[in-house]
Each structure stands twice: as C-alpha cells, then as structure tokens.
A and B are shown apart, each in its own frame.
Chain A
Amino acid sequence: MRTVYVDNNATTRVAPEVLEAMMPYFSDYYGNPSSMHFFGGQVAKQVNEAREKVADLLGAEPSEIVFTSCGTESDNAAILGTLDSYPEKRHLITTRVEHPAVGNVSTYLSRKGYHVTELSVDREGRLDLDELRESFSDQTALVSTMYANNETGVIFPIEKIGEIVKEKGIPFHTDAVQTVGKIPINLKKSTIDMLSLSGHKLHSPKGIGVLYIRKGTKFSPFLIGGHQEKGRRGGTENVPYIIGLGKACELAKNHLEDENTRVKALRDYLEQKILEKIPNTLVNGDPVHRLPNTVSVSFEYVEGESILLLLSDLGICASSGSACTSGSLEPSHVLRAMGVPFTAAHGSIRFSLSIYNTKEEMDYIIGHLPPIIQRLRDISPFWYDYLKSQGKKSS
C-alpha cells in the first residue's frame, strides 16, 4: 500500500542527508566532547559547528543555543528554570491553546500554588492583546505563549506580544516547536528571550531539542549535572543527534523559500479543493496568519476518528482534534477554546505537509476524501436530520 504522509506537525521524515551526517558519530567518532584527548576534541569541534548551524537558522549566537532531549524538556526548562530564578514571583501568563508541554506545566504550577493566567483566543484562534496588557501584576515572573499552534497552524503576533512583555521588563518565552523551519525567524531583532524547538519537527530524529536563551536572561538549570552546555543543561551531549539537528537546520534554511511557496501552494490547493468538493466543511483558524504547511478542516456531522481510520485504510496519514482519537472524551482544547461548534469540532482533521509532499499526493487525497465523508454522513443521524431540515432527500 502506498503511504501519503501529511501529518508533519506530529513528526517528520528524517532527511537522508541528516541520517548520513549522523552515522559516523555512532561508529567512528564516539569520543566524549568533554575529553582532553584529540579523539574527544574532534567531536567537540563538530558539536560546535552544529551549534553554529542551529544559531544561523534562528539568527542567534551559538552561545545562546542549549541542546536538550526534546521540545518538552525545553519548555519545562524555560518555565521552571525562570520561576526558579525569581522565587519571589508567583504569577505566570500563558494561553488556553498551548501544547501540553506548556499547558500541563501550568496545571502543575497551579496545584503548587502559583497563579496562572491563561489568555483566551477568539473564533479564529487569535489572542486579544488588550487581555494580555491587563493580565500583568508585580508578581508576574514569565510570559510563555506558543509561536504557532500545532493544530490550526495559527501564528501569534509574537513580536507584538514581546514588545508588550518587554515594556514590563518581564522575560518572554515562546514554544516555537511548530514554527522553526516553516517560517523565517530572526532572534537578533526579536523581543523573544527564550525559544523552544524540537528536532523531529524539521526532519531530524526524535530525541533532540533546543532551548535558545538570550544572553543576559536569568536562568537556573532544569537538569542539574555536569558542566555541559555551559552549566545550563547537565548530561553528556547526544552527539549524533546534535550533528543531525545541525544538518537539519542547515537544510531548513535552504528550504524556507520552498516551504513558503511550493508547500504553501500545495496546502492552499488541497484546502480549496476540499472546500469545493465537500459541502458543510469549514477551515479552523485565521486563514491569513497561518503556517504555510497546515490546514485544519472540520466536516460537519461526522466524527474525526472514523475519517482518520478510513483515510488510513487508503494509506493517507493525517490527524484529528476529535475526542475519540486521544482517548479523552472531549474534543481538542484548542478547538474548544476557539468556540468551534460541536457540529464541527468532533469532525476536525489536520493535514500538515512537508517539502517531501507532491501535487500528485494532494490529488490522491482530494480524490478519496469526498466519498469517505459521504459514506460516514450516510451513516450519521445528524446528517439525515440536517438534509431533512434543508428539504433535501438523503442520498
């Protein structure tokens, strides 16, 4: 069976160039970068080169890059490390649509007695900056908002948020796991103090992440141990994965244009054809301020897991914000925060593309999706009722 992979916000294919760059560091160059001898020293040099490549993609200084094990660790380290640096401050500002790597840290902190403000979003998934302005107190230790949403692709006005936060002299962290490699980022001219990224979202393997910490930002290490990463993250460097991430960032820089032209055009084509061919379908989230690779569509009166399994049967890999896919009973917190009506929230499907997708694959999806939705609607009692209310006959 063929595989059409359009779930790149979940994880991505490791680029062949990345894999190739990594391999020698499993076999030949296994030295510890901290060692005094030449054998470790040559590895340390390569780790630093990888650090430079990551910094280059972000417009950062190499010394501001801290390698971690994943995006979740980066988020945890940024939030808990900052709070630890300001022990007298007990207030955190974040949003209602964060990834669990931030959202569940907020819940944990609330239980520990911290005050957490979760900013709301509107029907299009956008923040109200006035709500942010009104949320500060002298207790506020940190503002942490995602850069772009994993489910809808909606991009927050991160520099505007940062300016408001900077006026108050408060540190600003952003979870940019879904953003890095998809749109240009330049931290030199930015209000961001800390930024999290995850390797496996940009064609490097799972198990490597980065926390960018702007020079001069107060930070206490989350993982306490050796002197690695200038004492900001203990633990022997995961050398092959760091090399792989360096290569992936180098490739991502070269692919940014492709991502924002060809991939964006494929996404727009897919979206437009779906809306054209399938009635009672809507796109979730701000259509303009959106990642070039992501579209979240809701099909009214059908349920997401059923759609996914029928797609999967044809080799098409996507994901859903429906309740049943996650084992929880309520649809995704992102769609609920946006106030997507229940008729649509349970039937949401996310397609997230990458540079490896082709137009032929989009046509394959467009060809197979309408009969799948029709088939499930034919089983759905609500579709039948809807048609009756419209005076149409069930097919």
Chain B
Amino acid sequence: MWDYTDKVKDHFLNPRNVGEIEHPDGIGEVGSLACGDALRLTFKLDEKKRIQDVKFKTFGCASAIASSSALTEIVKGMTLDVAEKVSNQDIANYLGGLPEEKMHCSVMGREALESAIANYRGQKVTKEDFEIVCKCFGVTDREIIKAIRENDLKTVEQVTYYTKAGGGCAHCHPKIEVLIEQVRKEMEKEKPLAKPERKKLTNIQKVKLIEETLGREIAPALKADGGDIDLIDIEGNKVYVALRGKCSFCHSSEVTLKQYVETKLREFVSEDIEVEEARP
C-alpha cells in the first residue's frame, strides 16, 4: 500500500473543484487512457484577469486525483503570470509530499495548467515541435529537461518517476541518460557563487510569502498615508508592484519602493529580492 499523506487522502476522498467550466477562458488536456492517467483543466478569469474559477476532471489513481484537486486550490485567485510559475514541487508540497514513484502525478498537474494557460493566450504547444524521447508514453525532450531542472533529478529511475519516460520498454534509457548529463552540466554552470542562504523557498511558497508580507507588513503603513500597493508580477527575484492611491503621485515613491518595500521583503522573504515599479 502506498504511504499517502493525510492531505493526499483528504483531496482524494473529498476532491475540490471537480467538473468542467462551460465556455472556459482556457482549457488544458494532458495524458490519455493508454497512459493510465489524464487531466482536463478549465478556468475562467475575472475582470482583473485573475483565475476566478477553475475545475478539473481526472482519470487516474488517488495521487493523480489529489494532485489535480490541489492544483485548483493553489491557482484560484492567481493572475496567469503568477499561476504559470507554479511548479510540480509546489503541488507536491501542498499535499505534504507524494511517494517519489507518484511524482509524475504532480507533473501532470503542472503540464495541464501550462497547457490551459497557453490555450488562453492562443499559443499552441504541440508535441510535434519537440523530439519524442519515450515512445511508450509519448514524452518529449522538453518535458524531460523541465522535470530534471525543476526537481534536480539525477537518475533515469527518477526521470521515470517524474515524467513516466522510460517506464515502458526501456529502449530510451540511454537517451534519457544523455539528457540528464547535459542538463546537469548546464545547471552546474548556472549555479551562482556560494553565499549564505536561508531555507530554499519553492516558487509558490515565495509567491505566498511575498503576498503575505505585502498585506501584513507593507500595505497597512501605506494605507495610513492614503496609498496602497498591488502585487503585479514576480520574475525570479524581481517583484513588480504598482503603487495606488496617493502613493501613485508621490514624489518619494521611488524611495518608498526601494527603502521601505524592498527592505521589508528582503527581511521577510529573501535577501536578493529587488522591487520594481510595474510600468503601465
């Protein structure tokens, strides 16, 4: 029997947001009957372009259903720019972790979201644009590379756990090995020089922490002066915000951003955060 967390069991037994939105703004479909799991995600945006409603239908095991349910809970209320940063680790963390063999369920969630957002934006991501590495499960090099990067994968077995690639006839194992070596070399080069770091945050944890800090530590002070602040986007360590109310015409807004907002975010979230004003 799998060692599922209580959160996984809860989201499997009481899945949130099951269904299909009629006339959705975006729809994403991944997986197939043959592969043993599939997910159809639909969402609708509100006038502020935030995800107002999101629903899923999933064919698959308990962890696939729980991952889909978790995904919908995570992205509700997010703008698409924020939602597209949700990683499979965020989904797994939300559930208190998944057995490693089942991590592909969280990846399926992330892929469905990506595909739904692309659908909304009118982009078409087709498998034909990439090389299919695993023919048994139709997994492309792009998907494998992304999984290696996001999850710091080291072995073919892990790649199989996360993407299913290599889980059938095993003929693609040498190709996967080459991909792992390539990607890990690139990752090694990109590594910044060692510096003291606090607990590594996942994207979603970071987004949440920034939101919380803005709401709890920063906005009240600005409101007291008749202003306000909105989070617009987050790109790596760059946080784009818009100052509202009185703050938007204030001459010292630049100073407010750098000395007040940035300092607070560095204190509560991460030392390398940079705050920029979002240009309309």
Q: Is the CB of B13 within 8 A of A313?
A: yes
A30 at the interface (CB under 8 A from B): no
| Distance A279 CA – B268 CA, assembled complex (angstroms) | 56
Q: Is the CB of B101 within 8 A of A381?
A: no
B167 at the interface (CB under 8 A from A): yes
| Distance A329 CA – B64 CA, assembled complex (angstroms) | 13
**Which residues of chain A come closer than 8 Å to B167, judged between CB atoms?**
328-330
**Which residues of chain A come closer than 8 Å to B15, judged between CB atoms?**
379
Interface residues of A in 318-340 (CB under 8 A from B): 322-325, 327-331
Task: Pick the most buried of B57, B59, B136: most chain A CB atoms within 10 A of its CB.
Answer: B59
Interface size, A (range): 20 to 34
A382 at the interface (CB under 8 A from B): yes
A305 at the interface (CB under 8 A from B): yes
Task: Pick the most buried of A301, A323, A324, A327: most chain B CB atoms within 10 A of its CB.
Answer: A324
| Distance A302 CA – B101 CA, assembled complex (angstroms) | 20
- How far, in Å, is B174 (CB) from chain A's closest CB? 18
Task: Pick the most buried of B33, B39, B104, B160: most chain A CB atoms within 10 A of its CB.
Answer: B33
Q: Is the CB of A324 within 8 A of B57?
A: no
Candidates A327, A330, A379; contact of B101 at CB < 8 Å: A327
> Number of A-B pairs whose CB atoms are under 8 Å?
78
A75 at the interface (CB under 8 A from B): no
**Which residues of chain A come closer than 8 Å to B44, judged between CB atoms?**
none
- How far, in Å, is B235 (CB) from chain A's closest CB? 33
Q: Is the CB of B36 within 8 A of A331?
A: yes
A21 at the interface (CB under 8 A from B): no
Q: Is the CB of B61 within 8 A of A329?
A: no
Report if A381-B18 is in contact (Cβ < 8 Å); known contacts: A327-B101, A329-B137.
no
Report if A382-B59 is in contact (Cβ < 8 Å); known contacts: A324-B36, A327-B101, A329-B168.
yes
Q: Is the CB of B59 within 8 A of A305?
A: no
**Which residues of chain B come closer than 8 Å to A301, judged between CB atoms?**
33, 59
A380 at the interface (CB under 8 A from B): yes
Q: Is the CB of B18 within 8 A of A378?
A: yes
Task: Pick the most buried of A304, A327, A381, A383: most chain B CB atoms within 10 A of its CB.
Answer: A381
A306 at the interface (CB under 8 A from B): yes
Instruction: For the complex, count residues of B whose C-beta is within 8 A of A.
Output: 33
**Which residues of chain B come closer than 8 Å to A309, judged between CB atoms?**
12, 62
- How far, in Å, is B103 (CB) from chain A's closest CB? 12
A222 at the interface (CB under 8 A from B): no
A343 at the interface (CB under 8 A from B): yes
A346 at the interface (CB under 8 A from B): yes
Interface residues of A in 126-172 (CB under 8 A from B): none
Candidates A302, A324, A381; contact of B40 at CB < 8 Å: A381
A29 at the interface (CB under 8 A from B): no
B38 at the interface (CB under 8 A from A): yes
Residue interface mask B25-67, A partner, CB < 8 A = 1: 0000100011111111000000000000000011111111100
A342 at the interface (CB under 8 A from B): yes
| Distance A346 CA – B13 CA, assembled complex (angstroms) | 20
**What residue in chain A is nearest B57 (Cβ atoms)?**
A381
**Which residues of chain A come closer than 8 Å to B168, judged between CB atoms?**
329-330
**What residue in chain A is nearest B18 (Cβ atoms)?**
A379
Candidates A324, A343, A382, A383; contact of B61 at CB < 8 Å: A324
A303 at the interface (CB under 8 A from B): yes
Residue interface mask B53-91, A partner, CB < 8 A = 1: 000011111111100000000000000000000000000
Q: Is the CB of A329 within 8 A of B34?
A: no
| Distance A346 CA – B164 CA, assembled complex (angstroms) | 16
Report if A306-B36 is in contact (Cβ < 8 Å); known contacts: A329-B160, A380-B57, A384-B20.
no
**Which residues of chain B come closer than 8 Å to A310, judged between CB atoms?**
13
- How far, in Å, is B105 (CB) from chain A's closest CB? 9
| Distance A342 CA – B36 CA, assembled complex (angstroms) | 8
Q: Is the CB of A306 within 8 A of B62?
A: yes
Q: Is the CB of B164 within 8 A of A329?
A: yes
Q: Is the CB of B37 within 8 A of A303?
A: yes
Q: Is the CB of A302 within 8 A of B61?
A: no
**What residue in chain A is nearest B20 (Cβ atoms)?**
A384
Interface residues of B in 201-245 (CB under 8 A from A): none
- How far, in Å, is A143 (CB) from chain B's closest CB? 27
- How far, in Å, is A86 (CB) from chain B's closest CB? 31
**What residue in chain A is nearest B60 (Cβ atoms)?**
A303
| Distance A343 CA – B167 CA, assembled complex (angstroms) | 19
- How far, in Å, is A362 (CB) from chain B's closest CB? 24
**Which residues of chain A come closer than 8 Å to B13, judged between CB atoms?**
310, 313
- How far, in Å, is B15 (CB) from chain A's closest CB? 6
Interface residues of A in 13-60 (CB under 8 A from B): none
**Which residues of chain A come closer than 8 Å to B20, judged between CB atoms?**
381, 384
Q: Is the CB of B34 within 8 A of A381?
A: no
| Distance A378 CA – B63 CA, assembled complex (angstroms) | 17
Residue interface mask A346-382, B partner, CB < 8 A = 1: 1000000000000000000000000000000011111
List chain A positions with a Cβ less than 8 A from chain B.
301-306, 309-310, 313, 322-325, 327-331, 342-343, 346, 378-384
Listed by A's residue number, 10 A-B pairs whose Cβ atoms lie within 8 Å are: A306-B62, A309-B12, A322-B61, A324-B37, A328-B167, A329-B160, A330-B167, A330-B168, A343-B33, A381-B29
